[in-house]
Structure 1
Amino acid sequence: MIRTLLGRLRPRRSALPYLLLLPALGLELIVHLVPMVVGIVMSLKQLTQFFIRDWSAAPWAGLSNYRMAVDFHAPVGKALLHSFWVTCAFTVLAVGLSWLIGTTAAILTQDAFRGRGVLRALFLLPYAMPVYAAVITWSFMFQRDTGLVNHVLHDQLHLVDDKPFWLLGDNSFTALVTVSVWRSWPFAFLSLTAGLQNIPRELYEASALDGAGVWQQIRRITLPSLRPVNLVLVLVLFLWTFNDFNTPYVLFGRSAPEAADLVSVHIYQSSFVTWNFGAGSAMSVLLLLFLLLVTSLYLLFTTRRKEA
């Protein structure tokens, strides 16, 4: 009887993994949900520098912060819209170039050759380096008079007539994309290299016997086989890049140039530079809703296409 009772109290094997995950899942929800709820509450308040000591005493603003953020004819909304379009262009270029370089490097190092392991390790160095050390190094390289970039382009290759400013003006956008791609493409390379290991070599051998060239093998075998990996990879790169704060903040400081004014830095300036935490929180919530919408549409589109 006692054995029967203990057997009933024991969790079923099918439920045991979920029970073991509950503590970690609970902590994960607390870490993410609590700041999210606090941010939503802050977006509904007139939280300025006058209420920093006791932000709960700030008067309610309702949806006025949201209306101010989406009023694209007013200065605040117009600046946010400009920052949004800059972030979209930055994300498309950074993600596209990272995927293209990562795919090319993964395909070129797919077959075994002498020194392949060393070359792969070198490719992963930008991803392994701490972000602050890497971006600070790039900021020194982009210096106008003493930077390595102008030294190579102007003094060595003579590609430009004058040494440009890379961290100011329109060139700041090019500098930001360069640093972001340099940091992101090794992750694409690593993910795609792992995906290439699951493609049977017999497929390439059979296609070579049928007369298929290298480009035909890549188009007909490699890319279709990597589709499940690419679906996840593109989404992860999009979320990381669109939300990136460390790269522009370390590269440009607290105030990014207008050409490189990403949404993440713009929200930081609205919150911690102008001390309008209510408006900054409203912009953060709008950014979260946009990312959730894009992610949902992406997953819906890819799922339907896969089923079709």
Structure 2
Amino acid sequence: MTSNIAIKSDALRDLYAEWTTLMTDNPTMGMRLFRSIFDEWHQPTVEPEDVTYREEVVGGVPGIWCLPAGADESQVMLFTHGGGFAVGSASSHRKVAAHVAKTLGVTSFVLDYRRAPEHPHPAQIEDGVAVFDALVERGIDPNNITTIGDSAGGNLAIAIPLALKEQGKPTPGQVIVFSPWLDMENEGETLKTNNDTDALITPELLAGMIAGVLGDKIDPRTPLANPLYADFTGFPRLYVNAGSVESLVDNATRLQERTEAAGVDITVNIAEGQQHVFPFLAGRSDVVTEELARIRDWYGSAR
């Protein structure tokens, strides 16, 4: 007999399968519809209790604050949403960001950064840096800022500290990434080995998104676009998770190899049987409840 948790936990895979069907059946889908579909990303996530939301423009960048009751407002998560740099939004990710913020007892600002293809690389990183700078100007200690993101937003959560370091500025105290998409060369081994188990990601989907954000002028090995080529010397402590059946899982493991070689304090969890950005099942899945508790313990260990 299948457990209720297992049934509920199919919600993310089912959503991805529906999107895949829609994209396959409509190969010439326009960007407006494409973005509307991905704004459904919040649907598998249960609305967290005792959290309020506020829209604001921070550092010239619009976004949504997630404000759990009793949260420490001196600690801020700068959350960059996933979606291939082209889709996804603060609205699609506010619930998952709120679950993490509530678990950690902090606040979160989810950016509506400029998206490709209208705004190619490095516009998204520039927006993240602008928000970080604005938070520091407001009196937030850089060490109390966490850059966090999923998929392409996980790429940005890593690239923003790298850009800050290049500019000689303070960097966040820690970085958290869910299912990071880093490989702009589109050559990961698990793109092949997990192709039949990942309900969303395909090399073809990624190729289109790479073309949108990098075009034909930016080298896919550019470190701020592809952090697998970055110098991680002095990088903040880092927490990474991914699902074992997703096609991008080796982006997480290659990141682990790169950062460990540079002496970074990194913690990685590969969740068995989980899809891309499995924390979207927050409130539905015991696996995610346990993962959020793991992140809370990791975060609190440095406080």
TM-score by length of 1: 0.23
| Structure whose residues are more often strand by fraction | 2
| Structure whose residues are more often helix by fraction | 1
Larger Rg: 1
Q: Which has the higher contact order (CA 8 A, sep 6+)?
A: 1
